[in-house]
A and B are shown apart, each in its own frame.
Chain A
């Protein structure tokens, strides 16, 4: 009992020191809080394929009822923003080339006459394919506007597609990306903190000091693991608050489930970070390793692009990536209200990473010199 009490005391002392070292400096306290919130908000607005104010130009050679109707709908949609009204077809190239408009709508002179004749009348949309994804989305918006004009005019397709989306009724990209940032941004910070923790002490010479104290390697490891986890969880909480109250994305799941998954995930990140720390000889090296590792972790996580789009071989590689599984956990808990049982499949690989990397780091601390 006494042993245990002593053990807990030592652990507390160790964690206290570690937190003091991280949080003592007001500048580093700010560094831990402000960028995270700023990034969440900035990326929350930027990282989206939901278009807002798409700049478009129009070359209206028809000036008829149909074209007026389409343009009125476009300008009133809030999605499109007219930046130019062109006079001759030659202007189209200039307008698109200069990047002035993402889309040019070309109404042919015979638009109305064809319609009254009962023919199908084409309206041409020229799209800037320099970002083909955005162009595709804009084209989709345009189609639905034109379709609604058709419907108003009493012309409708014989087959109507009635779609509804689960968990995200308006299919907003933001609902997908911003909760994903809870996992991604806290991972970056945690790996960085854990990655620097031992190297910093090595550079200062304090690590030897720790090794000659009665602390055992597992104790040092736990002492080194808990503070970054704490910081990571605090950051995750901050981002969660931004999601909930700034972007007002409804939280469907249980906080307990989310935090249980987060803790496991951050534990695996700490393991990765401490392993980096153990093999790095200098802080610079630790920074570089962390950076080189974080990039693929994020790219292969499905944060911005679906895993299913990747080639088979790379999809297999993502099984090593705890972020991939955490992204799924956080989105499913947040948007779908998934419970632990639904997420067990995702938790196993994260736990495996933690179980592998933490003892590895502990072993490396003592045996790498």
Chain B
């Protein structure tokens, strides 16, 4: 069954960026065969060229060189023939927001000339699978993000396409909807032997596919089945137990910072999953950090991270400047500190002191320092290192008595609709507090009320002792806010954005210059290209948005889905920053759709339909979901489903 559906031979495509006149090689000499009758995944960091490749396949743009055969048709010369046979769902799926669910589907059914007889049965089936059958008359613009994506998928499936191309269909979608989407895809793969090529930022999704293509800066750097790619990291992956009194993120941070020995580390299910560098003995974890580790089989994510880190190293060696986060060496005043294994400890303390940190944790997080780093790697870790990790974690919990945010019986109604229903929780100083829930659960509403952007219908709301909505302006000087869409002034340059956000928080003169220099270091924004930040890639804008939110050193930081649409590598760097801020006593409220990110939180709530379903530490939430639950994603899905089932039971 695995005949070749899409055949690319030495395909290249470049663009000229209008603002700078720079030529960007979006796709560079890519040769690949996408097998028919199964789902294949296209993964890679921001700006890897995934979208451009997909657009070339469906004939929306033509390759500069090379050939692209889709179902035996040359996509460049006969795009219409390709488009007659394929379905494509772009990143921003073009639903007509002022049409209803049914009208959108009928439009696409008509465009594909689905005969009336077949249409009804198929549409009904699709709507039922997508769980949209209750909303057929609702305007697409009124659907939640997850529902929109599902409707978008339904529109591409109004007839069985020969090839289905999906460009990040699950970006910004909650885990439940994500799982539903994938079960639908799998269903069609099995039932109709559908050929799918999907680009995604989620590696757990890619792991479900038959074939995975990994792209990086226009190149195809690896391909294979998920198992083959995971096997690249075999024998190097371990789950590390947390020493008593520590939280996962501090252990992870310490591990990540030791770029000489550790290739990757991420909190998972109450442990820290980590991957050693090549040639590093597995006993190192015990010897150097005093941590207890168990060898585990590698995941696709491990293989992927390994490949990316190697790419980065290559880029550094050849002196290229990469579009993804910069390496730690360039422009760094004290490279030794980064290379030194103790950098991870120093950096948080510096931030706690409120001054600019000379170390560069973002780059430390993304690793890849040239050969210098070998030297300290040989240096044996002392037992102190381990105890240091413990101490850092202990310090965190010690400061947690101080309530910074207090929410009691908070209610928000829009007309007859209750968006937030008697919600209560509090957040302590220096905590990372996660707000989780499916799309449309009331997270954003709660979030906006906390920030003072929406008035509450009833209930008590205190942020730093005040209601921000009625508080005098000065109270707002203590908070930082990073909105979902990284709200920056697109036409302004990096420096202009920073000056503006600093200025409205009354920073000026030398103080402003110092703060700008500091956040530029912190967030790897040293390069001033003079370009409007619209012309910058998503990961860059995300870092800049964070930088603008932190210029005035707020005590409380609100982050609304800061990692949506950001690749795994950049997310590691982001969380490394957050860990550091929390260590510096900044309170952080964050919403996210990446459930594994909840593991970074001290405590979290899970909301659905405006109600709080779970509240506690990640461990507590997992236990609440069930004794056998190990991953946060599973816990989340189970808690939400249990609640929904119970409600459905109540109603009937």
Residues on A lying within 8 angstroms of B by beta carbon are 6, 9-10, 12-14, 16-17, 20-21, 24-25, 204-206, 208-216, 219, 369
Contacts and interface: CB of A to CB of B under 8 A. Distances in A.
A208 B481 contact: yes
A73 B499 CA distance: 71
B532 A214 contact: no
Given A208-B448, A210-B504, 7 more contacts: A9-B506, A10-B506, A204-B487, A205-B483, A206-B488, A211-B453, A213-B476
Residue of A16, A209, A211, A215 with most partner-chain B CB within 10 A? A209
Contacts of A6: 506
B448 to A, nearest CB: 8
Contacts of B558: 212
A8 to B, nearest CB: 11
B473 A17 contact: no
Interface string B466-510: 001000011011010101111111111000100111011110100
A206 B497 CA distance: 11
- Smallest CB-CB A-B distances: 3 pairs: A13-B503, A205-B487, A214-B473
A215 B476 CA distance: 8
Contacts of A212: 451-453, 468, 476, 479, 481, 558
Contacts of B448: 208
**Interface of chain B, helix or strand or loop or mixed?**
loop
Nearest to B483: A205
27 contacts: A9-B508, A10-B503, A13-B499, A16-B503, A17-B489, A17-B492, A20-B489, A20-B496, A21-B491, A24-B492, A204-B485, A205-B484, A205-B485, A206-B488, A208-B487, A209-B483, A211-B453, A212-B452, A212-B476, A212-B481, A212-B558, A213-B477, A213-B501, A214-B474, A214-B505, A214-B506, A215-B473
Nearest to A21: B491
Interface of B: 448, 451-454, 468, 473-474, 476-477, 479, 481, 483-492, 496, 499-501, 503-506, 508, 532, 558
Nearest to B19: A25
Contact of A209 (B468, B473, B487): B487
Contacts of A205: 483-487
Contact of B481 (A9, A13, A209): A209
A214 B506 CA distance: 9
B492 A214 contact: no
A206 B489 contact: yes
Given A21-B491, A209-B487, A214 B504 contact: yes
B504 A10 contact: yes
Contacts of B479: 212
Given A9-B508, A10-B506, A211 B452 contact: yes
Contact of A14 (B451, B492, B504, B506): B504
Contacts of B452: 211-212
B60 to A, nearest CB: 25
A215 B481 CA distance: 14
A216 B491 contact: no
A13 B473 CA distance: 17
Contacts of A208: 448, 451, 453, 481, 483, 487
Nearest to A367: B455
Residue of A6, A9, A17, A219 with most partner-chain B CB within 10 A? A17
A214 B468 contact: no
B504 A206 contact: no
B210 to A, nearest CB: 38
Contacts of B484: 205
Contact of A25 (B454, B488, B491, B504): B491
Contacts of B483: 205-206, 208-209
Contact of B504 (A20, A21, A215): A215
A214 B481 contact: no
Given A206-B489, A211-B452, A24 B532 contact: yes
A154 B485 CA distance: 85
B504 A204 contact: no
Contacts of A10: 503-504, 506
A6 to B, nearest CB: 5
B510 to A, nearest CB: 14
A211 B471 CA distance: 12
A226 to B, nearest CB: 15
A127 to B, nearest CB: 52
Residue of B496, B504, B508, B532 with most partner-chain A CB within 10 A? B504
A204 B487 CA distance: 6
A213 B504 contact: yes
A335 B501 CA distance: 47
A13 B504 CA distance: 7
A6 B552 CA distance: 15
